[in-house]
Structure 1
Amino acid sequence: MRYFRWCFVVLLLGLASLPARADFQVFACEPEWASLVREFLPEAKITTATSYLQDPHYIEARPSLIAAMRRADIAVCTGASLEAGWLPTLLQRASNSAIQPGRAGLFYAAEHAQLHAPHDHVDRSMGDVHPEGNPHVHLSPDEVPAIAKALAQRLGQLIPEASGDILARYIRWRGDWSKHRIEWRQKAEVLQGRSVAIQHTNFSYLLNWLGVDSRFELEPKPGLPPSASHLSQLLAEPELKDVEAILIASHQDPQPANWLASQIQKPVLVVPGTVNDAGETQTLAELISMIVNTLEATVQEDSGGRL
């Protein structure tokens, strides 16, 4: 009861707070963080470096991005070395003291989450492995709330006159996320124990949370494109018969998945790896719901109850 009273007071304070600066500039490395910022600060001017049709590992440090970062009041990125190939160059060329490492204007989402599969030792022979752990944490129903809370607090720190409104928006967002989480958990019941193949580990957080086995990967090593020899090795795996679908992201080359699907007579499911400004996946909750619904619908379409 005290918690709900506190939430009510915060909401009232939020409604009474001053509006955020309309000229507040945000640089988002990935669309998921642009979407999350927009939940708490809809008036902000946001530049997003990547889209759902791009691999966030490999982005060109274009002059337009450098200019946007130079104007930014905050840069919101994943971290965990996801942007290691291009973000340091942008930070250096932008020469914006407000968003340098260690400053409040640089926010790394991965620093506020428990990442899967960290490594004590990493070398190039392992492929594109992140020592901090799997950086694709934006699809984790459990970790996103912690990231969202930290982001809302950081935005409130940078715009103290709007902190009450930002906190109120976060509380509303947290309540909505909890409702979605209950729905996802209910739909996960039919997915428990199922198995899918993936091309990269970008869906691993969600699949693990749903209880879906994703041990078979089309990439021979993380970050390396699928090869004919590796796909042939997959075909020789006795347990491949238990893989009931191949799940890939919109930005990934569909040819390897289509070839493997033709060999094992399984469907290929192509879904966005992150949010999209158009359509039904403009927020992280919508994106996760779409992926879960796609998996659930595929199960229900099969009269035998299998993917």
Structure 2
Amino acid sequence: MDFKRLFAATLLGLAALPAQAAIKVFACEPEWADLTRALVPDADIHTATSARQDPHYIEARPSLISAMRRAHIAVCTGASLEAGWLPALISRASNREIQPGKPGLFFAAEQVSLHQPHNHVDRSMGDVHPEGDPHIHLDPDRLPSIVNALADRLAALAPDDEHAIRLRQRQWQVRWKLETAKWREAATSLEGLSVAVQHSNFGYLLRWLGVEPSIDLEPKPGLPPSASHLSEALADPALDRVRLILIASYQGERPAQWLASKTELPVEILPGTVTDQPETDTLAKLISHIIDRLEHHHRTAEHG
């Protein structure tokens, strides 16, 4: 049976399933809310952050504490991405089921290997995550493993819903394989494209596509761009290969626009995670949108 027929058969199976009580979910970032919703569409999900926020720096507001207190499960990135606010939030919420080592606390980064883990870190290296780069949600190859692990956890928490969760897990995997095949085709035209970035928000996807982040506007990971570092970037021979400056929507534009004014390079501002806009309201749509924009700039550079 091919992917499309399997997808249709899965949908028919879902249509006959009875409704179950909603699972209450605390999602640290929108990407995990999206994946949870794909497995449990009627889940009551509270998302702590948005594409307009830096997930490293969030205030443990009363509304977040309340949502954490009510949740059956918290789905977060881990790998120290939320280290500045999640431990305090967990402590203040006092939810016995959402604690380190408990099944109610799910970390996506623990389900896959991470890029660039470090045996030793110190402040001189910047805001480096010892576990590795936590921005895994844009990696087409890692996400299926995360979805499988999340489905296991949700099914264990809601055994009455397990049949529905497993069917939707299968549906997601089939759909993801179809999307990945399209992205691989697009990657053939993007391989070798060189870009300037600010932080590693898009790093996993760029590597997957064969796109080279030749210049980083940050002097060190997590440190804001400085005038001296931008001047060094302007003099870096690697800048000659760069065709695009790529930043996330929560990041300030001034450093990118300054470099653009000196080089006439285009600046592309893209959401670093799922949004409420139709073209980027799921991870699959977000990845497709990012690839579309990269292809646009690559074509423009080639024919310019």
TM-score when normalising by structure 2? 0.95
Residue 154 of structure 1: how far off its partner (Å): 0.8
The corresponding residue for 1:214 is 213
* Root mean square deviation, CA, Å: 2.1
Matches within 5 A, 1:110-259: 110-259=109-258
- The residue matched to 1:197 in structure 2 has which SS? strand
Q: Do 2:155 and 2:162's aligned partners in 1 also have CA atoms closer than 8 Å?
A: yes
Matches within 5 A, 1:241-280: 241-280=240-279
Please give the alpha-carbon distance, in whole angstroms, between the structure 2 residues aligned to 1:5 and 1:286. Answer: 22
- The residue matched to 2:279 in structure 1 has which SS? coil
Q: Do 1:15 and 1:165's aligned partners in 2 also have CA atoms closer than 8 Å?
A: no
Q: Do 2:215 and 2:238's aligned partners in 1 also have CA atoms closer than 8 Å?
A: no
Closer/same/farther in 2, CA of residues 180 and 119 from structure 1, 3 Å limit: same
Residue 12 of structure 1: how far off its partner (Å): 7.3
Aligned residue identity for 2:277:
A
Aligned residue identity for 2:48:
A
Aligned residue identity for 2:144:
P
Q: Do 2:24 and 2:44's aligned partners in 1 also have CA atoms closer than 8 Å?
A: yes
Q: Do 1:30 and 1:49's aligned partners in 2 also have CA atoms closer than 8 Å?
A: yes
- The residue matched to 1:291 in structure 2 has which SS? helix
Deviations 1:2-39 (A, max 9, x none): x99999998777555543313x2100000000011111
Deviations 1:161-194 (A, max 9, x none): 1111111011111111111111111111111111
Residue 279 of structure 1: how far off its partner (Å): 2.6
Please give the alpha-carbon distance, in whole angstroms, between the structure 2 residues aligned to 1:214 and 1:265. Answer: 18
- The residue matched to 1:47 in structure 2 has which SS? strand
Residue 42 of structure 1: how far off its partner (Å): 0.9
Aligned residue identity for 1:205:
Y
Residue 297 of structure 1: how far off its partner (Å): 1.4
Matches within 5 A, 1:17-36: 17-22=17-22, 24-36=23-35
Closer/same/farther in 2, CA of residues 305 and 143 from structure 1, 3 Å limit: farther
Q: Do 2:243 and 2:297's aligned partners in 1 also have CA atoms closer than 8 Å?
A: no
Please give the alpha-carbon distance, in whole angstroms, between the structure 2 residues aligned to 1:293 and 1:266. Answer: 18
Please give the alpha-carbon distance, in whole angstroms, between the structure 2 residues aligned to 1:205 and 1:178. Answer: 18
Closer/same/farther in 2, CA of residues 38 and 196 from structure 1, 3 Å limit: same
1:89 aligns with 2:79: no
Q: Which moved more, 1:276-285 or 1:157-166?
A: 276-285
The corresponding residue for 1:45 is 44
Aligned residue identity for 1:232:
S
Residue 295 of structure 1: how far off its partner (Å): 0.5
The unaligned stretches of length 5 or more in structure 1 are: none
TM-score when normalising by structure 1? 0.94
Residue 88 of structure 1: how far off its partner (Å): 0.3
- The residue matched to 1:178 in structure 2 has which SS? helix
Identity between Structure 1 and Structure 2 (%): 58
1:297 aligns with 2:296: yes
Please give the alpha-carbon distance, in whole angstroms, between the structure 2 residues aligned to 1:184 and 1:7. Answer: 19
Please give the alpha-carbon distance, in whole angstroms, between the structure 2 residues aligned to 1:185 and 1:34. Answer: 25
How many pairs were matched up?
304
Q: Do 1:17 and 1:161's aligned partners in 2 also have CA atoms closer than 8 Å?
A: no
Q: Do 1:27 and 1:46's aligned partners in 2 also have CA atoms closer than 8 Å?
A: yes
Aligned residue identity for 1:103:
K
Q: Do 2:214 and 2:238's aligned partners in 1 also have CA atoms closer than 8 Å?
A: no
Q: Do 1:14 and 1:166's aligned partners in 2 also have CA atoms closer than 8 Å?
A: no
Q: Do 2:193 and 2:298's aligned partners in 1 also have CA atoms closer than 8 Å?
A: no
Deviations 1:55-114 (A, max 9, x none): 000000000000000000000000000000000000000000011111111000000111
Residue 225 of structure 1: how far off its partner (Å): 0.4
Please give the alpha-carbon distance, in whole angstroms, between the structure 1 residues aligned to 2:52 and 2:160. Answer: 37
